[in-house]
Amino acid sequence: MIPAAFEYNAPKTLEEALRLLDRHGDKAKLLAGGHSLLPLMKLRLAMPRYIIDIGRLKGLSGIREVRGKISIGALTTHAEIERSDLVRKHCSLLSETAREIGDAQVRNRGTLGGSLAHADPAADYPATMLALDAEIAAASKSGSRVIPASQFFVDMLTTKLRPGEILTEVRVGPLPPRTGTAYMKLHQPASGFAIVGAAVRLTVSKAGRIEEVRVGITGVGLKAYRAVAVENALQGSNAEDKVFAEAARAAAQGAEPLSDLHASAAYRTEMAAVFTRRALHRALGRARGKSA
């Protein structure tokens, strides 16, 4: 289908983009990679009067290390995150997650900020952001602020971003010694979205006890969430298969699993446990120095 008529704007600076967004309010939509917005416009599920194309704004892309944290601009593509030596060295969970997104065309065009701001319940990054305790920076005409990932995802396609704000950057802190991470998902074959995805960050002591664990789940409910029941069951326990299997059964606890043409709620619940357990095992192996 053909989208409804709209006015196209291509600001050259973030300040100009923020002025346009402030002026047009809810009649405007931001365009970055376009993988979320353009299909909605073609189906006329979204009919903005103004398009503000931020895809070429300078200063909103790139990966760098700043005061011990990895800083990733919102317009950085999935492919750039996947290939970044800096990300692979300091935060391999992000590059692993990026590698699981869509296909090569999507990864070369889609952006980190666009994915997070859209907050699709089956997107990959949200689970990883939760597992990493990431910080998400946003700017508006009145200034900038930082939103913890734990507070960012509110509901289906809904985030803590306020009207007039643009997501500008994601920051991830350093991981402690003896920490392993993993992202594993059950792919929807056509789209590549996650029917279920589990992101794990696991720190173990020299004696093999779990010192810290974060588990982010996507694809199961209306939004990505921390599997707190799994984390509580694992904290201080021995890192072993029986413990992982028992704790992983609570991966869908507190969520309302979705049921659609791709998977029933019962199937999602079961797969949440399966992929959480697999991600825990992979993260443990990496914490112990194994590359698998």
Q: Judge whether 58 lies within some domain.
A: no
Residue closest to 143 by CA, chosen among 283, 22, 27, 287? 22
Structural domain that includes position 22? 7-50
Band the pLDDT of 69: cuts 50, 70, 90: very high
Closest CA to 201 of 188, 210, 189: 210
Residues 145 and 232 in one domain: no
| Residue 58 binned pLDDT confidence (cut-offs 50, 70, 90) | confident
Strand 28-31 to 7-9 pairing: unpaired
Residue 139 maps to a domain: yes
Beta-strand pair 166-172/69-73: antiparallel
Angle at the Cα of 220 from the Cα atoms of 101 and 170, rounded to 5 degrees: 50
Considering the domain architecture, whether residues 189 and 168 belong to the same structural domain is answered as no
Instruction: Please indicate, yes or no, if residue 140 is contained in any of the structural domains.
Output: yes
Angle CA 134–30–125, to nearest 5: 30
Same domain, 108 and 133: yes
Q: How far is CA 211 from the centre of its chain?
A: 24
> What's the Cα-to-Cα distance from 279 to each of 10, 122, 128, 154, 246, rounded to whole Å?
42, 17, 12, 25, 14
Q: Which of 151, 172, 193 corresponds to the end of one domain?
A: 172
What the block records as the tokens of 268 is: 């999602």
Judge whether residue 216 has pLDDT over 90: yes
Query: Is 90 exceeded by the pLDDT of residue 1?
Result: no
| CATH code for the domain in which residue 81 is found | 3.30.465.10
The answer on 252 and 194 residing in a single domain is yes
The string over 84-120, giving b where at least 16 C-beta atoms fall within 10 Å of a residue's C-beta and e elsewhere, is beebeebbbbbbbbbebbbeeebbebbbbbbbbbbbb
In a domain, 1, yes or no: no
Same domain, 162 and 70: yes
Q: Does residue 166 form part of some domain? A: yes
pLDDT digits (tens, 9 = 90+) for 120-161: 999 999 999 999 999 999 999 999 999 999 999 999 999 999
Total domains present in the chain:
3
* Tokens at 218, concatenated: 């996507």
Residues 166 and 213 in one domain: no
In a domain, 128, yes or no: yes
